[in-house]
Chains A and B, each alone.
Chain A
Amino acid sequence: MEKIIQVGMADLKFAKAPDKLITAGLGSCIGICIYDKVLKSGCLAHIMLPSSQQAKSTQNKAKFADTAIELILHEMESQGASRLHLLAKIAGGAQMFKFSGKSDIMKIGERNAVAVIENLQKNRIRILARDTGGNYGRTIIFDPGTGDLLVRTIGHGERVI
């Protein structure tokens, strides 16, 4: 019986095929999927912020791009995955509100995307596909068995990356 496992905001979950992972309503947040093709298993993290470095509250590692990726790698390795087999797909990082001449805070989506890509590269995880940016929300469903990432939007189509 296949399950669809919900991943909340600032949350991280592991799944093995045929189970799937879903996270709903990504705006500036990013869904990071990292999976092992051979093991047919993977993790989905829903991060909110680019870096834990300046943050005062860092208990929840799934909240930040840098610590969430570390946590995923740790989790995948403890499940028997080899780092060489790991592949990544990412989605989200939109800018939902536009203010004229507004500060960094509203560009958080863009900063999140940059941080996720940097941290994946630093850990030598290949990014197979990404669907980031824009000004609309995304709900994503990840199938660790096939590696398919289904991206749903309101008014901006539906696609598998």
Chain B
Amino acid sequence: MIHDFSDLSGIQLDALKEIGNIGSGNAATALAQLVQAKIEMSVPIVTILPFVSVTNLLGGADKHVMGIYLAVDGSATASILFILPVDQACLLVDMLLGKKLGETSIDKFGDMESSAMMELGNILSATYLNAMSVFTNLTFIPSVPALGIDMAGAIIDAILAQFGEIADHVLVMETKFKKDDYDVVGHFFLLPEPESLNRILSALGVSC
């Protein structure tokens, strides 16, 4: 049993990295199809971080970002967050809605724009979870997405608070998506709960 994320062994981390790799590979393909552009992804990072460091990954607690959050239910509960700087989000909306690049601005971010981003969150999460499901034989049921536009710390703290009662650290599986080699499109986070982590690990055959 893993009680604390810091108990994870190297093999277990590698196994998680591998499913993260497959999940985000599928999500990157889905994103590329949606925006009809070449999308590159980073090698997934699997790390155990104290709460305060999570916002550092996003460029600081008061960075202006957009976050799409999904709660994952089923045999292994988790949280999914897709976070991106607001400028990048606006560019993505332009691509999704077939507008001229630069047309959407955060001041005029309406229902249509929000809906497009939430749908994007839906598709990315579903493809990611699908791949994980095939690999682990576990069922993952994502909730409807919720969208927030605000400071990175504010977006993430209610989600971290769910882990706060049991730990001071979270396991972060992070992938960065890039477009055209230079733009960082966004960070995709999967935050499994400790109990779910045990289920995922034993499904992968690396439980302790």
Chain A residues near B (Cβ < 8 Å)? 8-11, 23-29, 48-49, 54-57, 59-60, 63, 94-99, 105-106, 108-109, 136-139, 152, 154
Residue among A29, A59, A99, A105 with most chain B CB within 10 A: A29
Closest CB pairs A-B (n = 7): A25-B153, A137-B154, A27-B154, A25-B61, A8-B52, A137-B151, A24-B61
Give every chain B residue within 8 A of A8 (Cβ-Cβ).
Answer: 51-52, 61
Distance from A54 Cβ to chain B, minimum over Cβ atoms (Å)? 7
B55 an interface residue at 8 Å Cβ cutoff? yes
CA separation between A139 and B55, bound complex, in Å? 14
CA separation between A96 and B51, bound complex, in Å? 18
Distance from B176 Cβ to chain A, minimum over Cβ atoms (Å)? 20
Check A154–B161 contact: CB distance below 8 A.
no
Check A10–B164 contact: CB distance below 8 A.
yes
Check B51–A27 contact: CB distance below 8 A.
no
A-B contacts, 6 listed (Cβ < 8 Å): A8-B52, A9-B160, A48-B157, A94-B154, A97-B148, A139-B61
B interface: dominant SS: mixed
Distance from B164 Cβ to chain A, minimum over Cβ atoms (Å)? 5
CA separation between A57 and B163, bound complex, in Å? 10
Known: A25-B154, A136-B150, A137-B150. A9 touches B52 (CB 8 A): yes
The number of residues on chain B lying at the interface, defined by a beta carbon within 8 Å of a beta carbon of chain A, is 31
Q: Which of B145-184 contact A (CB under 8 A)?
A: 146-158, 160-162, 164-168
Other 16 A-B pairs with CB < 8 A, given A24-B61, A25-B61, A27-B157: A8-B51, A8-B61, A9-B52, A9-B157, A24-B153, A25-B157, A26-B153, A26-B154, A27-B150, A27-B151, A27-B154, A48-B160, A49-B165, A55-B166, A97-B147, A99-B146
CA separation between A48 and B55, bound complex, in Å? 14
Give every chain B residue within 8 A of A49 (Cβ-Cβ).
Answer: 161, 164-165
Give every chain A residue within 8 A of B156 (Cβ-Cβ).
Answer: 27
Check A137–B146 contact: CB distance below 8 A.
no
Residue among B55, B157, B160 with most chain A CB within 10 A: B157
CA separation between A10 and B164, bound complex, in Å? 9
Check B161–A97 contact: CB distance below 8 A.
no
B7 an interface residue at 8 Å Cβ cutoff? no
Check B161–A108 contact: CB distance below 8 A.
yes
CA separation between A55 and B161, bound complex, in Å? 11
Check B158–A57 contact: CB distance below 8 A.
no
Give every chain B residue within 8 A of A63 (Cβ-Cβ).
Answer: 164, 168
**Which residue of chain A has the shortest Cβ distance to B158 in the bound complex?**
A28
Distance from B188 Cβ to chain A, minimum over Cβ atoms (Å)? 17
B33 an interface residue at 8 Å Cβ cutoff? no
B62 an interface residue at 8 Å Cβ cutoff? yes
Cross-interface CB contact of A27 among B52, B60, B149, B158, cutoff 8 Å: B158
Cross-interface CB contact of B168 among A24, A59, A154, cutoff 8 Å: A59
**Which residue of chain B has the shortest Cβ distance to A63 in the bound complex?**
B164
Check B52–A96 contact: CB distance below 8 A.
no
B144 an interface residue at 8 Å Cβ cutoff? yes
Give every chain B residue within 8 A of A11 (Cβ-Cβ).
Answer: 52
Give every chain B residue within 8 A of A97 (Cβ-Cβ).
Answer: 69, 146-148, 158
